[in-house]
Amino acid sequence: MFANLVHYGRLYLRLEAQYIKARMNYRVDFIVSSIGMIFSNIASLAVFWVLFHTIPHLAGWTFEEILFIYGFYLLAVSPAQIFFDHIWQLRYHLMEGTFIKYYFRPLNMMFYYMSEMVDIKGFAQVVLGGAVIAYASTQLGLTWTAGRIGLMILTLFSASLVVIAILVIASCAAFWTLQSYSILALAFRLREFAQYPTTIFDGFFRFLFTYIIPIGFIAFYPSQLMLRPQEASWLIYISPVVGIALFALAYLVWSVGVNSYSGTGS
């Protein structure tokens, strides 16, 4: 098993190295898109700043605490942005029949498909997320012990799995309905609610974002454990299970979709 992981790891690095070389032939596009992503996230920070200059506290949460949650959100969604960005092209491959090529190599289908694209501008989002967390931590006086850093890594891993799973499940609708963009776009928009404390929503949406579409596990519950451990819900302690279980479900949906696909018929 370990040898297999090493093999896939080396193969992934080679595939991405080739993809990055190809992308660097269009450096202006890369630079402009990276700047666009940064400014888009800064615009969200500006919204928070304006909001908190009107309302000093949001459901009991301060501006600095909201910043921390937002920084955590940026880090949590970045793996999906960087390594699973190819899901946005799935419907095109299915409609055009080019998806059939992924059946002809002795590789894990999801690995093969997702490894064909890496969104390197997403690393700019990682830097911004880290900077936001560093600033918020300084303002809040948080001390980063080894235990807290380990907890941060574990919860980020789990949160990233939740994001990836939600987007993969939504994209898999393309196996059964080719006009699936609206479903994926809806999942992407719902993901954006994760940058806010779940406690600001009413009971229905709080239930929805915890038990049905668990976006509360993307940023709020993990951040609550860092910021206000005495108020943290017991749910955060099962977040690794939630992340792994949801990703397993996404992989199952992907596998069912792959097995049901029969080409364009032409």
pLDDT band at 252 (very low <50, low <70, confident <90, very high): very high
In tens, the pLDDT along 29-80 reads 656 666 666 667 677 767 767 666 666 666 678 888 988 999 999 999 999 9
* CB-based burial, 56-88: b 16+ in 10 Å, e otherwise: eebeebbbbbbbbbbbbbbbbbbbbbbbbbbbb
CA distance 199 to 202: 8
Torsion of CA 95, 98, 102, 103, to 10 degrees: 80
pLDDT band at 90 (very low <50, low <70, confident <90, very high): very high
Contacts of 99 (CB under 8 A, 6+ apart): 90, 93, 113, 261
In tens, the pLDDT along 203-242 reads 888 899 988 899 999 999 999 888 888 877 777 788 888 9
Phi first, then psi, for residue 61 (nearest 5°) are -100, 135
Task: Tell me how crowded residue 239 is: count the other CB atoms within 10 A of its CB.
Answer: 23
What pLDDT sits at residue 258?
Answer: 92
In tens, the pLDDT along 108-141 reads 899 989 988 888 778 888 988 999 999 999 999 9
What pLDDT sits at residue 71?
Answer: 93
pTM score: 0.86
Provide the strand spans (E) within the chain: none
* CB-based burial, 242-263: b 16+ in 10 Å, e otherwise: bbeebbeebeebbeebbeebee
Task: Output the CA–CA distances (angstroms, integers) from residue 79 to 126, 160, 180, 195, in the order listed.
Answer: 9, 6, 22, 16
Task: Residue 156: name the closest of 202, 217, 95 by CA.
Answer: 217
pLDDT band at 11 (very low <50, low <70, confident <90, very high): confident
Q: What is the mean pLDDT of residues 84-92?
A: 91
